[in-house]
């Protein structure tokens, strides 16, 4: 099986940032065209995860991400709306997950703290 998150780095003009993209596009329950834009996926994930991130286990996260895929796929299919990236910070004292909707706000992340829930949108 594949790892749940596949990590790569991207350059933001100043430094390299580790990213994790969702690897299971083909298992998505969402059909192409069902979601109009990546921003709507971003907002739905904020709604689904926000405030209860500490209650979400791996299986629940998989269900959410299968419905709202996070594969950066617009390079091969510009009509397939996805989120730009997910950043996972594995600091044991303060683990976080951050999601970005993509262009035009590639580096605008909504962040969820696994201890305190939704933190807010950061750039």
3 versus 118: the higher-pLDDT residue is 118
63 pLDDT higher than 60: yes
H or E element in which residue 42 lies? helix 38-49
> pLDDT tens across 87-122, in order?
666 566 666 777 665 555 556 667 776 666 656 665
DSSP codes joined into one string, 3-52: -SSEEEEEE-SSSEEEEEE---GGG-SSPTTSS--HHHHHHHHHHHHTT-
pTM as predicted: 0.36
- Domain ranges in the chain? 6-122
Query: Which conformational region is residue 13 in: left (phi greater than 0), alpha (psi within -120 to 50 degrees), or beta?
Result: left
pLDDT at 56 (0 to 100): 60
118 versus 11: the higher-pLDDT residue is 118
Give the number of other CB atoms < 10 A from CB of residue 116.
12
């Amino acid at each position: 099986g594949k790892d749940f998150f596949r990590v790569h780095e991207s350059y933001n003009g100043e430094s390299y940032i580790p990213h994790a993209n969702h690897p299971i596009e083909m298992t998505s329950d969402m059909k192409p065209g069902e979601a109009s834009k990546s921003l709507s996926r971003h907002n739905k994930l904020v709604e689904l995860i926000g405030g209860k991130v500490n209650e979400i286990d791996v299986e629940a996260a998989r269900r959410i991400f299968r419905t709202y895929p996070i594969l950066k796929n617009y390079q091969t299919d510009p009509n397939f709306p996805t989120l730009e990236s997910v950043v996972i910070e594995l600091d044991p004292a303060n683990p976080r997950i951050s999601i970005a909707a993509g262009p035009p706000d590639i580096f605008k992340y909504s962040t969820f703290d696994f201890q305190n829930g939704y933190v807010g949108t950061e750039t």
